[in-house]
Chains A and B, each alone.
Chain A
Amino acid sequence: MPDTILAVVEQREGKLNRVSWETITAGQAIATATGWPLEAAVVGGGSSIAAEVATKKVAKVYAIESPKLEPYTPDAFAAALKQFLTSKQPKLVLMPHTYQVRDFVPKLATAMGRTVISDCIGFKYEGGKLVFTRQMFQGKLAADVSFTSDAPWFVTFQNGAFRGDKAEAGSPPVEAVSLDIADGVIRNKPQEVFKEAKQAVDLTQAEIIVAVGRGIKEQKNIEIAKQLADALGGDLAASRPICDSGWLPMDRQIGSSGQTVAPKLYLALGISGAIQHIVGMKGSRAIIAVNKDSEAPIFEIADYAVVGNLFDIVPPLIEEVKKVKAGG
């Protein structure tokens, strides 16, 4: 059987997760490099999702359906995909590294005696060998990882690793695949998905964001970051540890669990640049980072880097900003 690539897109409650376009772009890039055909599959969601996926250039779209796929449970998704993959035998299975995929793909791979290389940011195809690049040690180092096992090979790609808008258009056929999930397989009983508390601020609309990380040291120090945000006419935000400590409410959190933003200016104060934070702000038009650790991963993506103590830098910065705004 020829080697094929299968991009498994994500739908939640009948809506296509837009990060799926990035998975398609990734699949198309790997298909071009290797010459392997690319197909796509969607698990659950109904025929309209499959139709949406069928506007992209893939050889075929499979619409995998089963009554027990809604609501999402890892047992149901792993069972359905295991059946499908066992019969289709793709070489490579691609998925976006979402919280839902993380919840079931290691289980699926293990059930098939296989492995997942997760949270990848790219791939290389050299001398007929496919390796996947991923960040390690919170972004300080990168690794090229290969499979030493049989197919199917499972890979998940990090949000933003590929451009969803670069997915080539096409009009592939859609094939409906009906699967049965036996009684007793599903053990979890999920309730409705909900949003916690009202969202007081929508950071996705902010043009300027001043974000604080652990470097702010104490809750009372957040005040100077707020003053800077006010002086700039921007919004205050934070990395997860600040919200975990209750120093700022959860709706100020930027990162994989919080908001994903792309403002004109993102000013990161005392933020080291852990991957879970970076995925939420790497699309910012301009990034200024202030951190006293010159090795902090945030500097990999900063446009302007200030290696120094934020407590020395922020107060004069506030003054200079105020001067300019007052017509100086």
Chain B
Amino acid sequence: MKQVPQKDAPLKLNETGTWIREDVSYEVNEPDAYALEEALRQREKHKGEVVVITSGPARAQQVLREALAKGADRAIHLEDDTFVGLDAFNTAKAFAAAIKDEQFDLIFTGLQSDDYGYAQTGVILAELLGWPHATIIMQIEKTDSGIRVKRELEAGFFQFVDMPTPAVLTIQSGINKLRYATLIGIKQAKNKPLKKVTLGDVQPAVGSNLQKIERLYVPQKTKKTEHIDGSSSEIAKKLVDKLRNELRVL
């Protein structure tokens, strides 16, 4: 799971113009919330254990606490400020190193993050582990030979795929409805295991970034946007005027 700036957080560039200033509010990456929910539902159906993992500074622990409050059994926090600037390739390497002694049957990630939007970490992790994977998944069923998943394609198309486990799946939003953490859940979360892993613990696996953000900036607008102001009734009249005389749709 990943912690990302809140959707409506005002973003400011840092001094070097290579990242944002960290003084914003954070939240769980929404696609990952669906991944967690799916994991909890699979456990409800088939028993087992739900483990949540994140990499990031101390503040990222909040994402794990919320996941534990929702029902996850234990958490792993790769804690270091460096993780913020690590590319997907090295982030996946860190995860693979951190979980090398675990015996997961399924690994879920959200289909992409709301900050980077690369949609890569899950697929990279599968390759590093040597596991099969499928992306943009809307349904998961257990079968005798592993699992049957429903892959979402563009334009309303879908596809079922039979796969062996263990496997990595990237989960699409809308696969389920997200639950809220209950008060009891929040209380119980305090006593659930939360293991810290340092950068040093995974260092041999993690290398230099293979890509670099040279510049982060406010995009230059190419579109000429006309702002319509005034009272609501004035705006309505102005819009209708545009619809009629400029756009000619009325």
- Proximity bits, A239-277, B CB within 8 Å = 1, else 0: 011011100001101001111100011000000100100
CB interface residues, A 270-325, toward B, < 8 Å? 272, 275, 285-286, 288, 293, 295, 299-308, 312-313, 316-317, 319-321, 323-325
Q: B11, A140: Cβ atoms under 8 Å?
A: yes
In the bound complex, residues from chain B placing their C-beta under 8 Å from that of A134 are: 117
Q: A141, B216: Cβ atoms under 8 Å?
A: yes
Q: B211, A115: Cβ atoms under 8 Å?
A: yes
Q: A137-B114, A146-B211 are in contact. Are A304 and B242 (CB under 8 A)?
A: yes
Which of these, B10, B120, B223, contacts A300 with CB under 8 Å? B223
In the bound complex, residues from chain A placing their C-beta under 8 Å from that of B5 are: 137
In the bound complex, residues from chain A placing their C-beta under 8 Å from that of B213 are: 143-145
CB interface residues, B 72-129, toward A, < 8 Å? 87-89, 92, 114-120, 123-124, 126-128
Q: A189, B161: Cβ atoms under 8 Å?
A: yes
Name the interface size band of chain A: 35 or more
Which of these, B133, B214, B218, B247, contacts A107 with CB under 8 Å? B133
Stretch touching chain B among A41-49, A62-70, A194-202, A218-226: A194-202
Q: How many angstroms from the CA of A240 to the CA of B159 in the assembled complex?
A: 19
Q: How far is the CB of A186 from chain B (nearest CB, A)?
A: 9
In the bound complex, residues from chain B placing their C-beta under 8 Å from that of A100 are: 153
Which of these, B20, B134, B136, B236, contacts A319 with CB under 8 Å? B236
In the bound complex, residues from chain B placing their C-beta under 8 Å from that of A195 are: 156-158
Interface centre among B5, B117, B132, B133 (most CB of A within 10 A): B117
Whether B250 is near chain A, meaning CB under 8 Å from some CB there, is yes
Whether B232 is near chain A, meaning CB under 8 Å from some CB there, is yes
Stretch touching chain B among A51-59, A116-124, A166-174: A116-124
Chain B residues at the A interface, C-beta cutoff of 8 Å: 5, 7-8, 10-11, 13, 20, 87-89, 92, 114-120, 123-124, 126-128, 132-136, 151-164, 172-174, 177, 208-221, 223-228, 232-233, 235-237, 239-240, 242-244, 247, 249-250
Chain A residues at the B interface, C-beta cutoff of 8 Å: 74-75, 78, 98-100, 102-104, 106-107, 109-111, 114-119, 131, 134-149, 187-196, 199, 207-208, 232, 240-241, 243-245, 250-251, 253, 256-260, 264-265, 272, 275, 285-286, 288, 293, 295, 299-308, 312-313, 316-317, 319-321, 323-325
Starting from the known contacts A74-B134, A305-B227, 5 additional A-B residue pairs (CB-CB under 8 Å) come to A107-B127, A136-B116, A260-B155, A308-B235, A319-B236
- Give the top 6 A-B pairs by smallest Cβ distance, nearest first: A244-B174, A115-B210, A149-B210, A316-B236, A106-B123, A187-B132
